[in-house]
Amino acid sequence: MSCMLINNYFSFLWIIASYILGSFPSGHIFTKLSVKKDILQIGWRKTSGSNVFKNIGIWQGTLTGVLDIGKGYLAVYLAQYFGLAVYFQALAGVAAVTGHNWSCFLKFSGGRGIGTLIGAFLALSLKLLWPSVIVLIVLAIIWNASIGTIVFLMVSLTLAVQSNQFETIGVLILGSLVPIFIKRLSPINEIKSAENKSLLIRNRLIFDDDKISGLRIKRIIKGLGWW
C-alpha cells in the first residue's frame, strides 16, 4: 500500500514537472537572442514555431519547432522511463501541452500546443502518429494548418479507439483539446468587446483567425503567377 502511495505521489509530481518542462519558452528565447524582440508582440502573438518561422526567421522557427516537439516527447519518455502507468504517461503529455500554451515563465502566455502534442504522441505511438500527421500536412498545404489540426485530432482519436490505445493516445488527444482550443480563442478580451461574438468565436475555433481563411494552395498558385 505504501509503495502504491509513493508511486501515485511521484506520478502527480511528474505531471507538475511536465507542465514546467512544457513551459520552457524556446520561441521567446530564440527571438530575444536573435532579433531582440518579444515574439508575444509579433504576428499572432504566440510563441509557436510557426509564428517564429514566419515573422522572425527560418532557423529560429525551425529550432523552436524542434524544441517544442522535444518538450512533449521528453515529458512522456521520462514518464515511461520512470515506469509510470500509461494513464499518467498520457497526462504528462497533456501537462506539457498546457505548459507550452500557458508558460509559467511568460506570465502564462505561450503557443498553440500542436508541436508539443506531436512530440508526446511520438513517444506514445509512432505507428499511429505518422498517418495522422500526413493528414495534417496535406490539409495544411491545401487549406490551412488550423483545419488540418482539427482533422488531425479527429483521425488520431479514431485510430486510438480502433487500435485499443485509448488509455494513451485517446487520453492524450482528449486532454489536449481543452488547452488547444481555448488558446485559439485568445486574446479573450477581444471577444468580449466584439460586435459579433459568435462569429468571432466560430472563426477562431475553426480557422484560428478572426476571419475565414481561403485555400492556401490557391494563394500559392496565384502568388507564383499560375492563376
Hey, what amino acid is at 79?
A
- State the Cα–Cα distance between residues 98 and 176, nearest whole angstrom: 8
With beta carbons less than 8 A apart as the criterion, state whether 39 and 52 touch: yes
pLDDT tens for each residue of 72-95: 999 999 999 999 999 999 999 999
Looking at the predicted structure, is the pLDDT value of residue 207 above 90? no
Contact at 8 Å (CB) between 60 and 53? yes
Name the pTM for this structure. Answer: 0.91
Distance CA 89, CA 80 (A): 6
Residue range 112-171, pLDDT digits in tens: 999 999 999 999 999 999 999 999 999 988 888 899 999 999 999 999 999 999 999 999
Instruction: Copy the grid coordinates of residue 105.
Output: 515563465
The alpha helices in the chain, defined as continuous H runs, are 2-22, 26-35, 49-55, 58-81, 86-101, 114-124, 126-142, 145-162, 171-185, 188-192, 197-207, 216-223
pLDDT at 226: 46
Alpha carbon 82 to chain centroid, angstroms: 24
Q: How far apart are CA 72 and CA 174, in angstroms?
A: 15
Dihedral angle sign, alpha carbons of residues 31, 33, 35, 37: positive
Q: In terms of Cα–Cα distance, which of 155, 143, 121, 113 is closest to 206?
A: 143
How is residue 132 written as a grid cell?
Answer: 495522422
